[in-house]
Structure 1
Amino acid sequence: MDSSSAVVGLCLEMCPERERRDRESQGRLHQFEIQNIQWTYKGRRGRGRPIADSKKTVKEYRRPAAGKELSNPTDLRTPATLVKTVQYLLMEIWSSVNYKDLSSLAKAYTFVFDRLRAVRQDLIVQRIRGQAGALVLEGSLGFLLCAPYLVRDLPLADYDEVLHSTQVRECFAELIECYKGGGRFCRQAEFQSLLLLYDLGNLDTIRRCLQLPSEVQQWPHVCLAIDINKAHLENNWVRLFRLLHQLNCLQACAFYRHLSRSRNKALCTMIHAYSSRNCRFPLYHLTRLLALDSPSLTANMCTQRGQTVISGEQTYVLFLKTALNDVEPELPNREIVLVEQKKGKASWSEVMIGQDNVITNLT
Protein backbone atom coordinates (compact mmCIF):
# COMPACT_ATOMS: atom_id res chain seq x y z
CA MET A 1 0.00 0.00 0.00
CA ASP A 2 1.23 3.49 -0.80
CA SER A 3 2.03 5.16 2.53
CA SER A 4 2.09 8.59 0.83
CA SER A 5 -1.70 8.44 0.42
CA ALA A 6 -2.35 7.43 4.03
CA VAL A 7 -4.25 9.75 6.33
CA VAL A 8 -2.14 11.60 8.92
CA GLY A 9 -3.39 11.74 12.50
CA LEU A 10 -3.66 15.07 14.28
CA CYS A 11 -4.84 14.05 17.76
CA LEU A 12 -2.32 14.85 20.50
CA GLU A 13 -4.33 13.31 23.36
CA MET A 14 -4.71 9.65 24.28
CA CYS A 15 -8.43 9.94 23.54
CA PRO A 16 -9.98 12.30 20.95
CA GLU A 17 -12.16 14.98 22.50
CA ARG A 18 -15.26 13.91 20.54
CA GLU A 19 -15.07 10.31 21.78
CA ARG A 20 -14.40 11.47 25.33
CA ARG A 21 -17.53 13.65 25.32
CA ASP A 22 -19.66 10.91 23.75
CA ARG A 23 -18.61 8.21 26.19
CA GLU A 24 -19.01 10.58 29.13
CA SER A 25 -22.58 11.43 28.11
CA GLN A 26 -23.42 7.76 27.47
CA GLY A 27 -21.93 6.57 30.76
CA ARG A 28 -19.36 4.36 28.98
CA LEU A 29 -16.24 5.47 30.81
CA HIS A 30 -14.02 2.85 32.44
CA GLN A 31 -13.17 3.26 36.11
CA PHE A 32 -9.56 3.99 35.09
CA GLU A 33 -10.74 7.01 33.08
CA ILE A 34 -12.87 9.01 35.49
CA GLN A 35 -12.04 11.91 37.76
CA ASN A 36 -11.95 11.06 41.43
CA ILE A 37 -15.18 11.77 43.36
CA GLN A 38 -16.60 14.11 40.73
CA TRP A 39 -19.98 13.57 39.11
CA THR A 40 -22.40 15.41 36.87
CA TYR A 41 -26.06 15.39 37.85
CA LYS A 42 -28.72 15.31 35.15
CA GLY A 43 -32.40 14.51 35.13
CA ARG A 44 -35.13 14.91 37.72
CA ARG A 45 -33.93 11.97 39.78
CA GLY A 46 -30.48 13.42 40.07
CA ARG A 47 -28.70 10.43 38.63
CA GLY A 48 -24.99 11.06 38.35
CA ARG A 49 -22.55 10.19 35.63
CA PRO A 50 -18.76 10.13 36.04
CA ILE A 51 -16.72 12.94 34.54
CA ALA A 52 -13.92 11.95 32.17
CA ASP A 53 -10.37 12.81 33.14
CA SER A 54 -8.71 14.00 29.93
CA LYS A 55 -5.31 12.80 31.18
CA LYS A 56 -6.60 9.29 31.91
CA THR A 57 -9.14 8.63 29.15
CA VAL A 58 -7.80 6.36 26.40
CA LYS A 59 -9.37 5.75 23.00
CA GLU A 60 -11.27 2.47 22.93
CA TYR A 61 -11.18 -0.12 20.16
CA ARG A 62 -13.97 0.06 17.56
CA ARG A 63 -14.72 -2.67 15.06
CA PRO A 64 -14.62 -1.43 11.45
CA ALA A 65 -18.19 -1.35 10.18
CA ALA A 66 -20.41 0.48 7.71
CA GLY A 67 -21.20 3.97 8.86
CA LYS A 68 -18.24 4.17 11.24
CA GLU A 69 -15.52 6.58 10.17
CA LEU A 70 -12.08 5.43 11.32
CA SER A 71 -9.92 7.74 9.21
CA ASN A 72 -10.87 11.17 10.51
CA PRO A 73 -7.50 12.89 11.13
CA THR A 74 -8.76 14.58 14.30
CA ASP A 75 -9.63 11.15 15.76
CA LEU A 76 -6.29 9.53 14.87
CA ARG A 77 -3.38 9.90 17.28
CA THR A 78 0.07 10.94 16.11
CA PRO A 79 2.94 8.40 16.34
CA ALA A 80 4.38 10.19 19.38
CA THR A 81 0.97 10.11 21.07
CA LEU A 82 0.65 6.38 20.37
CA VAL A 83 4.03 5.76 22.02
CA LYS A 84 2.94 7.85 24.99
CA THR A 85 -0.31 5.87 25.20
CA VAL A 86 1.49 2.51 25.29
CA GLN A 87 3.81 3.82 28.00
CA TYR A 88 0.84 5.08 30.03
CA LEU A 89 -1.08 1.80 29.77
CA LEU A 90 1.89 -0.25 30.94
CA MET A 91 3.63 2.05 33.41
CA GLU A 92 0.56 3.66 35.00
CA ILE A 93 -2.39 1.30 34.60
CA TRP A 94 -0.72 -2.11 34.65
CA SER A 95 1.77 -1.15 37.38
CA SER A 96 -1.18 -0.58 39.75
CA VAL A 97 -2.54 -4.14 39.38
CA ASN A 98 -3.06 -6.28 42.47
CA TYR A 99 -2.21 -9.76 41.15
CA LYS A 100 -3.79 -11.47 44.16
CA ASP A 101 -7.17 -9.87 43.42
CA LEU A 102 -8.56 -11.60 40.32
CA SER A 103 -11.29 -8.97 39.94
CA SER A 104 -8.73 -6.15 39.85
CA LEU A 105 -6.52 -8.18 37.51
CA ALA A 106 -9.41 -8.87 35.12
CA LYS A 107 -10.41 -5.19 34.95
CA ALA A 108 -6.85 -4.08 34.24
CA TYR A 109 -6.27 -6.79 31.63
CA THR A 110 -9.48 -6.15 29.67
CA PHE A 111 -8.83 -2.38 29.73
CA VAL A 112 -5.20 -2.54 28.61
CA PHE A 113 -5.88 -5.25 26.02
CA ASP A 114 -8.72 -3.24 24.44
CA ARG A 115 -6.81 0.05 24.42
CA LEU A 116 -3.75 -1.56 22.86
CA ARG A 117 -5.97 -2.91 20.08
CA ALA A 118 -7.10 0.67 19.48
CA VAL A 119 -3.46 1.79 19.36
CA ARG A 120 -2.74 -0.79 16.66
CA GLN A 121 -5.86 0.29 14.81
CA ASP A 122 -4.62 3.89 14.63
CA LEU A 123 -1.24 2.57 13.50
CA ILE A 124 -2.76 0.51 10.68
CA VAL A 125 -5.13 3.23 9.44
CA GLN A 126 -2.21 5.65 9.13
CA ARG A 127 0.09 2.92 7.70
CA ILE A 128 2.82 3.90 10.14
CA ARG A 129 5.97 1.84 9.68
CA GLY A 130 9.64 2.28 10.45
CA GLN A 131 10.98 3.16 13.89
CA ALA A 132 7.79 4.86 15.05
CA GLY A 133 5.67 1.82 14.28
CA ALA A 134 8.25 -0.56 15.74
CA LEU A 135 8.41 1.31 19.05
CA VAL A 136 4.63 1.10 19.48
CA LEU A 137 4.43 -2.58 18.50
CA GLU A 138 7.38 -3.62 20.66
CA GLY A 139 5.72 -2.14 23.74
CA SER A 140 2.40 -3.75 22.85
CA LEU A 141 4.04 -7.14 22.33
CA GLY A 142 5.78 -6.87 25.68
CA PHE A 143 2.34 -6.81 27.32
CA LEU A 144 0.82 -9.45 25.05
CA LEU A 145 3.66 -11.91 25.73
CA CYS A 146 3.70 -11.47 29.53
CA ALA A 147 -0.06 -11.31 30.08
CA PRO A 148 -0.84 -15.04 29.51
CA TYR A 149 1.44 -15.92 32.41
CA LEU A 150 -0.05 -13.26 34.70
CA VAL A 151 -3.74 -13.86 33.88
CA ARG A 152 -3.58 -17.67 33.66
CA ASP A 153 -6.16 -18.05 36.47
CA LEU A 154 -8.78 -15.75 34.94
CA PRO A 155 -12.00 -17.32 33.56
CA LEU A 156 -12.71 -17.47 29.84
CA ALA A 157 -15.12 -14.54 30.14
CA ASP A 158 -12.18 -12.28 31.05
CA TYR A 159 -9.34 -13.92 29.12
CA ASP A 160 -9.92 -15.36 25.66
CA GLU A 161 -6.74 -17.27 24.83
CA VAL A 162 -7.60 -17.58 21.11
CA LEU A 163 -8.27 -13.85 20.69
CA HIS A 164 -5.14 -13.02 22.65
CA SER A 165 -3.00 -15.33 20.51
CA THR A 166 -4.46 -13.76 17.35
CA GLN A 167 -3.41 -10.31 18.54
CA VAL A 168 0.11 -11.56 19.30
CA ARG A 169 0.52 -13.00 15.79
CA GLU A 170 -0.86 -9.89 14.11
CA CYS A 171 1.45 -7.68 16.16
CA PHE A 172 4.47 -9.79 15.24
CA ALA A 173 3.50 -9.69 11.54
CA GLU A 174 3.23 -5.89 11.60
CA LEU A 175 6.47 -5.53 13.53
CA ILE A 176 8.38 -7.66 11.02
CA GLU A 177 7.04 -5.40 8.25
CA CYS A 178 8.41 -2.39 10.15
CA TYR A 179 11.84 -4.04 10.32
CA LYS A 180 11.78 -4.81 6.59
CA GLY A 181 11.63 -1.10 5.80
CA GLY A 182 15.26 -0.75 6.79
CA GLY A 183 16.94 1.41 9.38
CA ARG A 184 18.42 0.83 12.81
CA PHE A 185 16.18 -0.96 15.30
CA CYS A 186 17.75 -1.42 18.73
CA ARG A 187 15.46 -4.29 19.72
CA GLN A 188 15.13 -6.13 16.41
CA ALA A 189 17.27 -9.12 17.43
CA GLU A 190 15.42 -9.37 20.75
CA PHE A 191 12.00 -9.52 19.11
CA GLN A 192 13.17 -11.89 16.39
CA SER A 193 14.18 -14.24 19.21
CA LEU A 194 10.83 -13.74 20.93
CA LEU A 195 9.03 -14.73 17.72
CA LEU A 196 11.17 -17.89 17.47
CA LEU A 197 10.29 -18.82 21.05
CA TYR A 198 6.59 -18.03 20.66
CA ASP A 199 6.41 -20.02 17.40
CA LEU A 200 8.53 -22.90 18.73
CA GLY A 201 9.19 -25.54 16.07
CA ASN A 202 7.61 -23.55 13.24
CA LEU A 203 9.83 -24.22 10.23
CA ASP A 204 8.63 -21.14 8.32
CA THR A 205 9.58 -18.89 11.24
CA ILE A 206 13.00 -20.54 11.51
CA ARG A 207 13.56 -20.23 7.75
CA ARG A 208 12.68 -16.51 7.76
CA CYS A 209 15.05 -15.97 10.68
CA LEU A 210 17.90 -17.68 8.82
CA GLN A 211 17.38 -15.21 5.97
CA LEU A 212 17.95 -12.19 8.23
CA PRO A 213 21.16 -10.14 8.01
CA SER A 214 24.12 -11.90 9.62
CA GLU A 215 24.46 -9.27 12.36
CA VAL A 216 20.93 -10.10 13.53
CA GLN A 217 21.39 -13.89 13.24
CA GLN A 218 24.59 -13.77 15.29
CA TRP A 219 23.05 -11.83 18.16
CA PRO A 220 23.07 -13.96 21.37
CA HIS A 221 19.27 -13.68 21.79
CA VAL A 222 18.68 -15.12 18.32
CA CYS A 223 21.34 -17.84 18.62
CA LEU A 224 19.82 -19.03 21.89
CA ALA A 225 16.30 -19.12 20.43
CA ILE A 226 17.50 -21.06 17.37
CA ASP A 227 19.31 -23.57 19.61
CA ILE A 228 16.11 -24.09 21.62
CA ASN A 229 14.18 -24.71 18.41
CA LYS A 230 16.80 -27.23 17.27
CA ALA A 231 16.59 -29.08 20.59
CA HIS A 232 12.80 -29.16 20.29
CA LEU A 233 12.85 -30.50 16.74
CA GLU A 234 15.43 -33.14 17.70
CA ASN A 235 13.46 -34.14 20.83
CA ASN A 236 16.58 -33.37 22.85
CA TRP A 237 14.70 -32.46 26.01
CA VAL A 238 17.68 -32.40 28.37
CA ARG A 239 19.40 -29.80 26.19
CA LEU A 240 16.17 -27.83 25.72
CA PHE A 241 15.56 -27.41 29.45
CA ARG A 242 19.20 -26.52 30.08
CA LEU A 243 18.90 -23.78 27.48
CA LEU A 244 15.66 -22.50 28.99
CA HIS A 245 17.57 -21.48 32.11
CA GLN A 246 19.45 -18.94 29.97
CA LEU A 247 16.31 -17.07 28.91
CA ASN A 248 15.47 -13.71 30.42
CA CYS A 249 12.01 -13.02 31.88
CA LEU A 250 10.37 -11.71 28.71
CA GLN A 251 11.78 -14.59 26.65
CA ALA A 252 10.57 -17.09 29.27
CA CYS A 253 7.07 -15.61 28.98
CA ALA A 254 7.20 -16.01 25.19
CA PHE A 255 8.07 -19.70 25.67
CA TYR A 256 5.57 -20.23 28.52
CA ARG A 257 2.77 -21.47 26.25
CA HIS A 258 4.94 -24.47 25.26
CA LEU A 259 6.25 -25.34 28.70
CA SER A 260 3.61 -27.83 29.89
CA ARG A 261 3.62 -29.77 26.62
CA SER A 262 7.43 -29.82 26.49
CA ARG A 263 7.60 -31.20 30.03
CA ASN A 264 5.03 -33.85 29.17
CA LYS A 265 6.98 -34.97 26.09
CA ALA A 266 10.25 -34.94 28.03
CA LEU A 267 8.86 -37.07 30.86
CA CYS A 268 7.23 -39.56 28.49
CA THR A 269 10.51 -39.90 26.59
CA MET A 270 12.38 -40.59 29.84
CA ILE A 271 9.79 -43.16 30.93
CA HIS A 272 10.42 -45.11 27.73
CA ALA A 273 14.20 -44.62 27.87
CA TYR A 274 14.65 -45.69 31.51
CA SER A 275 11.86 -48.26 31.72
CA SER A 276 13.19 -51.07 33.94
CA ARG A 277 12.22 -52.66 37.25
CA ASN A 278 15.88 -52.51 38.28
CA CYS A 279 16.33 -48.81 37.50
CA ARG A 280 15.78 -46.07 40.07
CA PHE A 281 15.87 -42.47 38.83
CA PRO A 282 16.55 -39.84 41.56
CA LEU A 283 13.52 -37.56 41.97
CA TYR A 284 15.68 -34.55 42.80
CA HIS A 285 17.67 -34.99 39.57
CA LEU A 286 14.46 -35.34 37.55
CA THR A 287 13.15 -32.11 39.12
CA ARG A 288 16.24 -30.26 37.94
CA LEU A 289 16.06 -31.79 34.45
CA LEU A 290 12.45 -30.65 34.00
CA ALA A 291 13.11 -27.23 35.59
CA LEU A 292 10.28 -27.72 38.09
CA ASP A 293 10.01 -25.68 41.27
CA SER A 294 9.79 -28.57 43.76
CA PRO A 295 10.17 -32.38 43.95
CA SER A 296 6.52 -32.66 45.01
CA LEU A 297 5.43 -31.26 41.64
CA THR A 298 7.67 -33.78 39.88
CA ALA A 299 6.31 -36.66 41.97
CA ASN A 300 2.76 -35.64 41.15
CA MET A 301 3.54 -35.55 37.41
CA CYS A 302 5.01 -39.06 37.64
CA THR A 303 2.13 -40.60 39.62
CA GLN A 304 -0.42 -39.04 37.25
CA ARG A 305 1.28 -40.96 34.47
CA GLY A 306 1.23 -44.27 36.36
CA GLN A 307 4.85 -44.23 37.55
CA THR A 308 5.90 -45.29 41.05
CA VAL A 309 7.62 -42.88 43.43
CA ILE A 310 9.73 -44.71 46.05
CA SER A 311 10.50 -42.84 49.27
CA GLY A 312 13.43 -43.48 51.61
CA GLU A 313 16.67 -41.75 52.48
CA GLN A 314 16.44 -40.51 48.93
CA THR A 315 13.34 -40.46 46.76
CA TYR A 316 13.43 -42.28 43.44
CA VAL A 317 11.09 -42.87 40.51
CA LEU A 318 10.57 -46.32 39.03
CA PHE A 319 9.91 -45.84 35.32
CA LEU A 320 7.77 -48.47 33.58
CA LYS A 321 6.49 -47.77 30.08
CA THR A 322 3.87 -50.53 30.42
CA ALA A 323 2.25 -48.56 33.24
CA LEU A 324 2.30 -45.24 31.36
CA ASN A 325 -1.04 -43.42 31.42
CA ASP A 326 -1.97 -41.19 28.51
CA VAL A 327 -2.87 -37.91 30.23
CA GLU A 328 -3.18 -34.32 29.07
CA PRO A 329 -0.29 -31.98 29.94
CA GLU A 330 -0.76 -30.06 33.17
CA LEU A 331 -2.47 -26.68 33.00
CA PRO A 332 -0.10 -23.70 32.91
CA ASN A 333 0.88 -22.79 36.44
CA ARG A 334 3.17 -20.50 38.37
CA GLU A 335 6.84 -20.84 37.40
CA ILE A 336 9.30 -19.47 39.94
CA VAL A 337 12.58 -20.88 38.57
CA LEU A 338 11.99 -20.30 34.85
CA VAL A 339 10.01 -17.04 34.99
CA GLU A 340 9.73 -15.12 38.22
CA GLN A 341 13.31 -15.40 39.47
CA LYS A 342 14.48 -13.96 36.17
CA LYS A 343 12.44 -10.81 36.77
CA GLY A 344 14.66 -9.82 39.68
CA LYS A 345 13.78 -6.45 41.19
CA ALA A 346 12.14 -5.14 38.02
CA SER A 347 8.38 -4.65 37.92
CA TRP A 348 6.26 -6.51 35.39
CA SER A 349 5.61 -3.18 33.66
CA GLU A 350 9.35 -2.67 33.22
CA VAL A 351 9.74 -6.19 31.82
CA MET A 352 6.98 -5.48 29.29
CA ILE A 353 8.20 -2.10 28.11
CA GLY A 354 11.91 -2.86 28.42
CA GLN A 355 13.75 -1.13 31.25
CA ASP A 356 15.86 0.90 28.84
CA ASN A 357 12.71 2.27 27.20
CA VAL A 358 10.87 3.51 30.30
CA ILE A 359 9.81 7.13 30.20
CA THR A 360 9.66 8.31 33.79
CA ASN A 361 7.58 11.42 33.11
CA LEU A 362 4.48 10.79 31.02
CA THR A 363 2.77 14.13 31.61
Structure 2
Amino acid sequence: MDPSKRYNLADAITVVGTCEDMCPEYERHEREYANDLMDFEKVRSGREGRREIPGTNRVDHQCAVKKYSRSAADSGTPLPCDLRPPMVLKRTLTYLLHTIIPTYGLEASHAFVRDRLRAIRKDLTIQNIRGLDAIDICEPIARFHILCAHRLCESTKVDVAQEVEQMRKCVHF
Protein backbone atom coordinates (compact mmCIF):
# COMPACT_ATOMS: atom_id res chain seq x y z
CA MET A 1 0.00 0.00 0.00
CA ASP A 2 1.23 3.45 -0.91
CA PRO A 3 1.08 5.69 2.21
CA SER A 4 0.70 8.82 0.05
CA LYS A 5 -2.56 7.59 -1.55
CA ARG A 6 -6.08 7.75 -0.16
CA TYR A 7 -7.91 4.52 0.53
CA ASN A 8 -11.49 3.62 1.33
CA LEU A 9 -12.03 2.92 5.03
CA ALA A 10 -13.95 -0.24 4.10
CA ASP A 11 -10.70 -1.61 2.66
CA ALA A 12 -8.84 -1.22 5.96
CA ILE A 13 -7.11 -4.28 7.31
CA THR A 14 -8.43 -5.58 10.61
CA VAL A 15 -5.64 -6.76 12.87
CA VAL A 16 -6.48 -9.71 15.12
CA GLY A 17 -4.24 -10.42 18.09
CA THR A 18 -2.82 -13.91 18.55
CA CYS A 19 -0.70 -13.47 21.72
CA GLU A 20 -1.99 -15.87 24.38
CA ASP A 21 0.21 -14.47 27.16
CA MET A 22 -0.18 -11.31 29.24
CA CYS A 23 3.06 -10.08 27.66
CA PRO A 24 4.35 -11.01 24.19
CA GLU A 25 7.36 -13.34 24.28
CA TYR A 26 9.66 -10.96 22.40
CA GLU A 27 8.85 -8.11 24.81
CA ARG A 28 9.51 -10.32 27.85
CA HIS A 29 12.98 -11.23 26.63
CA GLU A 30 13.75 -7.71 25.40
CA ARG A 31 12.78 -6.15 28.73
CA GLU A 32 14.73 -8.77 30.69
CA TYR A 33 17.83 -8.04 28.58
CA ALA A 34 17.35 -4.26 29.00
CA ASN A 35 16.76 -4.68 32.75
CA ASP A 36 13.35 -3.04 32.28
CA LEU A 37 11.28 -5.27 34.56
CA MET A 38 9.19 -4.10 37.48
CA ASP A 39 9.49 -6.05 40.73
CA PHE A 40 6.01 -7.49 40.10
CA GLU A 41 7.37 -9.24 36.97
CA LYS A 42 10.59 -10.75 38.35
CA VAL A 43 11.23 -14.33 39.42
CA ARG A 44 10.46 -14.70 43.11
CA SER A 45 11.06 -17.28 45.79
CA GLY A 46 9.56 -18.14 49.12
CA ARG A 47 6.39 -19.86 50.20
CA GLU A 48 4.15 -16.88 49.42
CA GLY A 49 6.05 -15.92 46.27
CA ARG A 50 6.61 -12.36 47.49
CA ARG A 51 10.36 -12.27 48.06
CA GLU A 52 12.57 -11.36 45.14
CA ILE A 53 15.60 -13.58 44.61
CA PRO A 54 18.54 -11.27 45.44
CA GLY A 55 20.71 -10.32 42.48
CA THR A 56 18.35 -11.61 39.82
CA ASN A 57 16.47 -9.65 37.25
CA ARG A 58 14.99 -12.65 35.52
CA VAL A 59 11.53 -12.36 34.04
CA ASP A 60 8.76 -14.45 35.53
CA HIS A 61 7.00 -15.41 32.30
CA GLN A 62 3.72 -16.01 34.14
CA CYS A 63 3.72 -12.56 35.80
CA ALA A 64 5.06 -10.24 33.09
CA VAL A 65 2.46 -7.87 31.64
CA LYS A 66 2.75 -5.96 28.37
CA LYS A 67 4.06 -2.45 28.93
CA TYR A 68 2.40 0.61 27.41
CA SER A 69 4.38 2.21 24.60
CA ARG A 70 3.58 5.34 22.70
CA SER A 71 3.03 4.89 18.99
CA ALA A 72 6.00 5.94 16.91
CA ALA A 73 5.50 7.19 13.37
CA ASP A 74 7.97 4.66 11.98
CA SER A 75 6.78 1.65 13.98
CA GLY A 76 3.84 0.73 11.74
CA THR A 77 1.07 -1.66 12.70
CA PRO A 78 2.04 -4.13 15.44
CA LEU A 79 2.30 -7.79 14.51
CA PRO A 80 -0.62 -10.04 15.51
CA CYS A 81 1.75 -11.99 17.80
CA ASP A 82 2.28 -8.78 19.81
CA LEU A 83 -1.44 -8.09 20.27
CA ARG A 84 -3.64 -9.85 22.82
CA PRO A 85 -7.17 -10.94 21.86
CA PRO A 86 -10.13 -9.95 24.09
CA MET A 87 -10.03 -13.08 26.27
CA VAL A 88 -6.35 -12.53 27.08
CA LEU A 89 -7.01 -8.84 27.75
CA LYS A 90 -9.75 -9.84 30.21
CA ARG A 91 -7.46 -12.36 31.90
CA THR A 92 -4.72 -9.73 32.17
CA LEU A 93 -7.18 -7.20 33.59
CA THR A 94 -8.33 -9.72 36.20
CA TYR A 95 -4.72 -10.48 37.15
CA LEU A 96 -3.91 -6.79 37.63
CA LEU A 97 -7.04 -5.90 39.59
CA HIS A 98 -7.50 -9.09 41.62
CA THR A 99 -3.94 -10.31 42.16
CA ILE A 100 -1.47 -7.43 41.94
CA ILE A 101 -3.49 -4.77 43.81
CA PRO A 102 -4.64 -7.03 46.69
CA THR A 103 -1.13 -8.48 47.07
CA TYR A 104 0.91 -5.27 46.97
CA GLY A 105 -1.63 -2.58 47.81
CA LEU A 106 -3.14 0.16 45.68
CA GLU A 107 -0.52 2.84 46.26
CA ALA A 108 2.48 0.52 45.81
CA SER A 109 1.14 -1.00 42.59
CA HIS A 110 -0.62 2.07 41.16
CA ALA A 111 1.98 3.16 38.58
CA PHE A 112 2.51 -0.41 37.34
CA VAL A 113 -1.20 -1.21 37.07
CA ARG A 114 -2.02 2.16 35.46
CA ASP A 115 0.64 1.65 32.77
CA ARG A 116 -0.48 -1.90 32.01
CA LEU A 117 -4.14 -0.84 31.80
CA ARG A 118 -3.15 1.74 29.17
CA ALA A 119 -1.50 -1.07 27.21
CA ILE A 120 -4.74 -3.06 27.41
CA ARG A 121 -6.71 -0.11 26.01
CA LYS A 122 -4.14 0.34 23.25
CA ASP A 123 -4.54 -3.32 22.20
CA LEU A 124 -8.31 -2.78 22.12
CA THR A 125 -7.91 0.31 19.93
CA ILE A 126 -5.46 -1.22 17.45
CA GLN A 127 -7.72 -4.25 16.94
CA ASN A 128 -10.81 -2.01 16.79
CA ILE A 129 -12.53 -4.16 19.42
CA ARG A 130 -16.01 -2.84 20.20
CA GLY A 131 -19.22 -4.08 21.76
CA LEU A 132 -19.53 -6.19 24.90
CA ASP A 133 -15.87 -7.19 24.96
CA ALA A 134 -14.80 -3.54 25.03
CA ILE A 135 -17.39 -2.72 27.71
CA ASP A 136 -16.32 -5.69 29.86
CA ILE A 137 -12.74 -4.44 29.71
CA CYS A 138 -13.18 -0.65 29.85
CA GLU A 139 -15.69 -0.54 32.72
CA PRO A 140 -13.35 -2.02 35.37
CA ILE A 141 -10.51 0.17 34.07
CA ALA A 142 -12.69 3.27 34.50
CA ARG A 143 -13.56 2.12 38.04
CA PHE A 144 -9.85 1.70 38.80
CA HIS A 145 -9.18 5.32 37.80
CA ILE A 146 -12.14 6.58 39.85
CA LEU A 147 -10.92 4.60 42.87
CA CYS A 148 -7.38 5.95 42.49
CA ALA A 149 -8.59 9.53 42.14
CA HIS A 150 -10.55 9.11 45.38
CA ARG A 151 -8.22 6.98 47.53
CA LEU A 152 -4.89 8.40 46.38
CA CYS A 153 -5.88 12.05 45.98
CA GLU A 154 -3.55 13.10 48.80
CA SER A 155 -0.58 11.12 47.50
CA THR A 156 2.20 13.11 45.88
CA LYS A 157 2.70 10.25 43.39
CA VAL A 158 -0.80 10.43 41.89
CA ASP A 159 -2.19 13.21 39.72
CA VAL A 160 -5.98 13.27 40.08
CA ALA A 161 -6.38 15.16 36.79
CA GLN A 162 -4.56 12.37 34.95
CA GLU A 163 -6.75 9.75 36.61
CA VAL A 164 -9.86 11.64 35.49
CA GLU A 165 -8.44 11.94 31.95
CA GLN A 166 -7.76 8.19 31.76
CA MET A 167 -11.23 7.45 33.14
CA ARG A 168 -12.79 9.63 30.44
CA LYS A 169 -10.88 7.78 27.75
CA CYS A 170 -12.44 4.55 29.04
CA VAL A 171 -15.94 5.98 29.16
CA HIS A 172 -15.70 7.43 25.62
CA PHE A 173 -14.10 4.34 24.15
Counterpart residue number, 1:76: 83
Counterpart check, 1:172 vs 2:171: yes
Counterpart residue number, 2:98: 91
1:95 deviates by 1.1
TM-score scaled by length of structure 1: 0.41
For the residues of structure 2 that align with 1:153 and 1:145, how far apart are their CA atoms? 14
Relative to structure 1, the CA distance from residue 119 to residue 98 in structure 2 (aligned partners, 3 Å threshold; closer, same or farther) is closer
The gaps in structure 1 that reach 5 residues or longer are 41-47, 100-104, 175-363
Counterpart check, 1:56 vs 2:81: no
* Correspondence list, 1:1-363, <5 A: 5-37=13-45, 48-98=55-105, 105=107, 107-155=108-156, 158-174=157-173
Q: Deviations over 1:311-354 (max 9, x none)?
A: xxxxxxxxxxxxxxxxxxxxxxxxxxxxxxxxxxxxxxxxxxxx
Relative to structure 1, the CA distance from residue 112 to residue 3 in structure 2 (aligned partners, 3 Å threshold; closer, same or farther) is farther
Relative to structure 1, the CA distance from residue 60 to residue 144 in structure 2 (aligned partners, 3 Å threshold; closer, same or farther) is same
Q: Deviations over 1:273-317 (max 9, x none)?
A: xxxxxxxxxxxxxxxxxxxxxxxxxxxxxxxxxxxxxxxxxxxxx
1:5 deviates by 2.7
- Whose strand proportion is higher, 1 or 2? 1
Report % sequence identity.
34
**Is the contact made by 1:39 and 1:51 (CA closer than 8 Å) also made in structure 2?**
no
Q: Deviations over 1:248-297 (max 9, x none)?
A: xxxxxxxxxxxxxxxxxxxxxxxxxxxxxxxxxxxxxxxxxxxxxxxxxx
Q: Deviations over 1:170-193 (max 9, x none)?
A: 11001xxxxxxxxxxxxxxxxxxx
Relative to structure 1, the CA distance from residue 34 to residue 86 in structure 2 (aligned partners, 3 Å threshold; closer, same or farther) is same
TM-score scaled by length of structure 2: 0.84
Relative to structure 1, the CA distance from residue 130 to residue 3 in structure 2 (aligned partners, 3 Å threshold; closer, same or farther) is farther
For the residues of structure 2 that align with 1:126 and 1:49, how far apart are their CA atoms? 35
Which has the higher mean CA deviation after the structures are superposed, 12-21 or 48-57?
48-57
1:89 deviates by 0.4
Relative to structure 1, the CA distance from residue 131 to residue 3 in structure 2 (aligned partners, 3 Å threshold; closer, same or farther) is farther
Counterpart residue number, 2:3: none
Counterpart residue number, 1:232: none
Q: What stretches of structure 1 move > 3 A for 4+ residues in a row?
A: 1-4, 37-40
Q: Deviations over 1:12-32 (max 9, x none)?
A: 100000000000011100000
**Is the contact made by 1:9 and 1:74 (CA closer than 8 Å) also made in structure 2?**
yes
**Is the contact made by 1:14 and 1:59 (CA closer than 8 Å) also made in structure 2?**
yes
Higher RCO (Cα < 8 Å, 6 or more apart): 2
RMSD: 2.1
Instruction: Tell me the secondary structure at the aligned position of residue 58 of structure 2.
Output: strand
For the residues of structure 1 that align with 2:13 and 2:25, how far apart are their CA atoms? 25
Counterpart residue number, 2:4: none
**Is the contact made by 2:153 and 2:159 (CA closer than 8 Å) also made in structure 1?**
no
The gaps in structure 2 that reach 5 residues or longer are 1-8, 46-51
- Whose helix proportion is higher, 1 or 2? 1
Look up the equivalent residue of 1:167 and give its one-letter code: Q
Instruction: Tell me the secondary structure at the aligned position of residue 163 of structure 1.
Output: helix
Over alpha carbons, which structure has the higher Rg?
1
